[in-house]
Chains A and B, each alone.
Chain A
């Protein structure tokens, strides 16, 4: 199974939906809320977002694929590819 990493915001409704997507399918994932993280973690997340050209959340890394925004069809494709 591919490793799933989510970066989210506690204030973001689409981030909630993204978490629910993986939870409902019993797909294990690690998740960090950017706004609740310490400064060092925020810096690390911003660096990764900027490298990927992403400006918002949810930010999902599924295997080696990065998906920005709540995109369930792309999550499914990335998990199955």
Chain B
């Protein structure tokens, strides 16, 4: 799948998930575009769109907690900084 169409698909999916959790996409278009592009890169590399800002530890249980959007696993921290990473 082309990068741009996959970015749009991921944005649509993420939006559906983060909305009910009280989050929304940043209005910073450049940041949003870079984030979505990196999600496509990570998904192509690992088969899963992991968080682009947290380290893969090659420990499945821990790595599955950083599949984007990983808000439920890091809720307290994200609420404190008013954003996800």
Tell me if A's interface is mostly helix, strand, loop or mixed.
Answer: helix
> Cβ of B41: which chain A residues have Cβ within 8 Å of it?
11
**Interface residues of B, count at CB 8 A:** 17
Taking residues whose C-beta sits less than 8 angstroms from the other chain, chain A's interface range is 10 to 19
Q: When the two chains form the complex, which single residue of A15, A49, A69 contacts B81, counting CB atoms closer than 8 Å?
A: A69
**Given B56, B74, B85, which contacts A14 in the complex, CB threshold below 8 Å?**
B85
Q: Does A46 contact B (CB under 8 A)?
A: yes
Measured between beta carbons, the chain B residues less than 8 angstroms from A55 are 54, 74, 77
Residue positions of B touching A, CB distance < 8 A: 31, 34-35, 38, 41-42, 51-57, 74, 77, 81, 85
Given contacts A13-B52, A58-B53, 4 further A-B pairs with CB under 8 A are A11-B38, A11-B53, A57-B53, A69-B81
